[in-house]
Homo-oligomer: A and B are copies of this chain.
């Protein structure tokens, strides 16, 4: 339902939000999010083009969020990578009703709309703040205080 690339992009962005405003190198993000480094690099380029993240070259460079976590929604990230394609006109191409979707496609689009809305309502900050037992990326929660930075 959600592409692998979307999953990767979200992981990366969540990680960046978690570390904000410090920049993180592609390698660091890759390690933390378990995303293949070379591919992550491409994903980050996409996010950079969409002005979700900033990329800086050279020593001390890396990626960082272009906004603060409370100003960035998951929807923006998803749409930057692989936009949610709402059904706006009849997929059969029948011009008959213009924008009037038939009941089938209306329902499919409603489903998309719901997802879109849920994503638009969720900021990165909210994800970080979640009072859940699990830390954002399913990283093991620091068991006793601190543990070696594996």
A interface with B by C-beta (< 8 Å):
1-2, 7, 10-11, 14, 33-34, 74, 84-85, 90-94, 96-97, 100-108, 110-112, 114-115, 118-119, 122, 126-128, 130, 132-141
Sampled A-B contacts (6; CB under 8 Å): A1-B115, A33-B92, A74-B107, A94-B139, A97-B133, A106-B132
Which residue of chain B lies nearest to A14 when distances are taken between CB atoms in the complex?
B104
Minimum C-beta distance from A142 to chain B (A): 11
Please state if B11 and A104 are interface contacts (CB–CB under 8 Å): yes
Distance between Cα atoms of A96 and B143 in the complex (Å): 11
Q: Are A138 and B96 in contact (CB under 8 A)?
A: yes
Residue numbers in B under 8 Å from A85 (CB-CB) = 1
A104 CB → nearest B CB, Å: 5
Q: Contact: A115 with B111, CB < 8 Å?
A: yes
Our pick among B101, B138, B140 for the contact of A101 (Cβ within 8 Å) is B138
Taking a contact as CB atoms closer than 8 A, the residue among B10, B100, B140 that contacts A132 in the complex is B100
A102 touches B132 (CB 8 A): yes
Among A14, A101, A115, A126, residue most surrounded by chain B Cβ atoms (within 10 Å) = A115
Question: Quick one: which of B34, B94, B106, B140 contacts A140, CB cutoff 8 A?
Answer: B94
A133 to B102, CA, bound (A): 8
Selected contact of A92 from candidates B94, B106, B138, CB within 8 Å: B138
Q: Which B residues lie within 8 Å of A34 (CB)?
A: 92-93
Contact between chains at B136 and A122 (CB < 8 Å): no
